[in-house]
Structures are given as structure tokens and as C-alpha cells.
Amino acid sequence: MRVLIVEDEPLIAQRLERFCRAELGGDLEQLRVVASLDAASGFLGEHPIDLLLLDLNLEGRDGMQLLETSVAGSFHTIIVSANTEHALRAFEYGVLDFVPKPFMQERLASALRRATRALVRAEHAARFLAVRKSGRVELVPVEDVIFVQGAGNYSELVRRDGRRELHDKTLERLEAVLPGDFERTHKSFVVRLSEIVSLHAYEGGRHEAVLRDGTTLPVGRSRYKGLKERLL
């Protein structure tokens, strides 16, 4: 796991670093601390990471823009900040967790666990998904998305009007911040359950889900039973 810490107070940065090392142990491949966002973006351009621990002053427009840019990335973002009044807003933009300052080791550890373990969802689901488009970031409302298709290191968000948006996060990472209504139906699909109108089982173990707009998606054999139970 590759972690970047953005924190301008050295002592707090030391604390974050200490806890990360203690929690991640051998899983930690790389850990870098920078003091400013400018330094962070410079680093990110060169080095892919998995997790960003960000001390972000979310006051004002600048703070929100930085947040959008951050959550549009392929990595998970955990905010570590004293500005707790903006926590919900941060969640809406798709951060994985929000650790209020001051923090103890256990609180940071639980945040790190969300990032490392599959199928642990964010405490509050995102309402927007930030999509990078030719240098700028556009926010796609989650309620406009009917399913997400994995495409290697990227994902494709499929909107109600059929448009597809490319997202930098993997399907697994997106699933973690999407609302509970979204379910993994296939190794390459996360689908909004309320969009499914029927399930079909064919000979040869082929399973399909038909969505409200007529789209047919394959359903993984192992997931079919659970999906059927949830839908009934």
C-alpha cells in the first residue's frame, strides 16, 4: 500500500505517520509526507498512490475544488481535519472517511481498515462522483448513475441517459463510496438494485439481469443466489 500524507504541522504529520506504520505494518510499501497541496500534486504527478490522508481546510471555494480534484483520483481519500462541520459534505463528494482532529490511534486505524479491506463501505455514501475531463473535474450525481462497469484500472459510470463517464478509480474503490443500493453483480459490474426489473437463469449456468431501460447485464454465477434473495 502506498500512502501520501498532506499535513503542514510536523508534529501532527509525525503522529499520522507513526499510526500508519503501526496499523499497516508490512503492507505499507511507501509512505510520503508533504506539507502543502502544491507539493502533493507535484508528487502525485509522478507517483501513483493508493491512499491519501489529507488535512484540508474546507472553507471557501478553494477547499471544495481541491477536494473534488482529490476524489477524482484513482486513490482513496481520507480527510484528517479539525473542520468537522464539513465532514458530511466531504462524504457527499466521495471521501472514504473523515477523521476529526484530535485523533487517537484507534480512530485512524479504523479509517485505514476501510481502505485496505474489500467490501467495507464508507460511513456516508457519496452523492457525487468527481470525473476528470480534459483537465477539469466534473461532478456526476450518483442518483443519475444506473450501473458501473469495471474496465481494468478504470471504471465506466453509465448514466440514465445512456452517457458513459470514465472514472479513475477501480470498480472496488468506487463500490466502497457508492450507496448501499448498489450491488456487485459481476466481477465487472456494480448495479443499482432498484434498476433491475428481472433476473434470468439460462442453461449452461448463464445468468442475466434486465434493467429498467432494457439493458441486459451478465450476473456472476456465485452472486446470482444472493442477488435473487435481495431482490425478492
Query: Which chain residues interact with another protein by CB under 8 A?
Result: 8-12, 14-15, 35-36, 38, 57, 82-84, 100-104
Name the residue among 12, 184, 164 with its Cα closest to residue 82.
12
Cβ neighbour number for residue 33 with a 10 Å cutoff? 17
Task: Report phi then psi at 207, rounded to 5.
Answer: -125, 145
Q: For residue 162, which phi and psi values (nearest 5 degrees)? A: 90, -15
In whole angstroms, how close is the CB of 79 to another protein at the nearest point? 13
CB of 84 to another protein, least distance (A): 7
Which residue's CB is nearer to another protein, number 60 or number 135?
60
Nearest alpha carbon to residue 99 among 73, 123, 117 = 123
CB of 136 to another protein, least distance (A): 22
Closer CB to another protein, 70 or 83, in the complex: 83
Q: Nearest approach, Cβ of 1 to another protein (angstroms)?
A: 23
- Phi-psi map region of 155: left, alpha, beta (phi>0 left; psi -120 to 50 alpha): beta
| Least distance from another protein to the Cβ atom of residue 17, Å | 10
- CB nearer to another protein: give 102 or 204: 102
Query: Cell numbers of 64, please?
Result: 471544495
Judged by CB, which is closer to another protein: 40, or 157?
A: 40
Which C-beta is closer to another protein: that of 57 or that of 149? 57
Burial of 216 (0-12, 13-18, 19+ CB in 10 A): exposed
